[in-house]
Structure 1
């Protein structure tokens, strides 16, 4: 059965399965670029990895960003050009860290990391507020109202931290 997300629409469903003699590539629409792959499974893996990587990198695309889709397609040229470009394509499309594995991490791991990041951010803000209070207390021209406001802010920040 055809995988509509990872298979280029120009490939008929009957030709997707079991054709080991076909040359495969990852087609990047938007850039209209093709990258030869050793086999169809590798092309599907690359397409999935690049899709995850691209959409995590640009979750809300800017209007000038290209619309990128990564699909599997048959190699459009001859076997010689496929073989000549294959080594460079493997080097260019092999991820040092699999973005699919990062995407599949459990939500609790992600939420714990976000909570830790927020806690560190609050600690940083609190330390900056304490530093500002020390500067205000050291200032000869400051008045008691400024000091009271900073002390209230620090108490509020400490309650958050």
Structure 2
């Protein structure tokens, strides 16, 4: 099992916080929420995406992809299926697949790049914009990270 949430960056820390009766809902700090009627949320803080992916890939992956990869890495290690190089064993690679989903994907990246395109023009938009926003990139990054060669399915739903 892999877990990342407002109570912890892994399943152990999350479980301990739940067992202590802690609440992960706090005042929003990641952006100015003063214009919104609700100013509390379960934010994930202190997360460093370079712990789970190459620093060059961080630019290519939206935050939702980074968080999914963090939880997936923990789950894959917990499963005991990985080889000494933290990859799917070659004899199982074609028999393993990835199924992932998201409620909305990289909406923050879509919004930011839309504004940037409007203000600076289309030639100034980040060339990795698409890879940072598409929900199926969760499975793409996961397949690449672990050498999984089977089916790759992604769903988007609310």
Rg comparison, structure with higher value: 1
Both structures adopt the same fold (TM-score exceeding 0.5): no
Q: TM-score range by the shorter chain?
A: under 0.3
